[in-house]
Amino acid sequence: MFNATESHRSEYDRLKLWLVRVTLLLSWGTFALCWWVYGLNVAVSYLLGAMVGLIYLRLLARSVGNLGVAGRTPFVSSRLLLVVALFILVVRWPSLQLLPAILGFLTYKLTILLYTIQTTLGGGQQQSGGTPIQHQPPQPAADKPLTPAAGNVLGELARLRAEHHLGDEG
């Protein structure tokens, strides 16, 4: 029973780490492209939004991780304040631009979309040698049918966290 709980926990942690890494990779790549095509002001605006989006993703993962923990409630207002602070900073700072900052903030959504597409199309397939495909997001096991929650990253995180807690109690 302990190994199953540990396995779910590590799968949950691997998914969070994959989301952060891919978001960082997309953010830096898009920052460089924006700098090359549009100039430094647009690129910095994009990067600021992307970094706020990354912090937002981490706070979101933390609140999903706290689901079901006695005495802890998801604290939504800190995530909302983060977005409001981004808007205020961009509006107040003359060299920053709003649209690139918003698009930068939404970069984490692109990562979630990539995970959803990969999970849906990949279905947890493995290479012929039986080892997991390198640099791929954590996939549901191939013998388990995909559930509607598997297409939703937050649902998948909540499911993994719930299985982790059920393993602790049993």
pLDDT averaged over every residue in the chain: 77
Which of the two residues, 154 and 44, has the higher pLDDT score? Answer: 44
Three-state DSSP state, 44: helix
Please say whether the beta carbons of 124 and 138 come within 8 A.
no
Residues of the chain above pLDDT 70, percent: 67
- For the segment 135-149, the average pLDDT, to the nearest whole number, is 55
pLDDT one-digit tens code per residue, 10-39: 788 888 899 999 999 999 999 999 999 999
Summarised one tens digit per residue, pLDDT across range 103-141 is 999 999 999 999 999 888 876 554 444 444 445 666 655
Q: In this structure, what are the phi and psi dihedrals at residue 77, rounded to the nearest 5 degrees?
A: -65, -30
Q: What is the mean pLDDT of residues 43-65?
A: 91
CB 83 within 8 A of CB 105: yes
- Cα diameter, the chain: 57
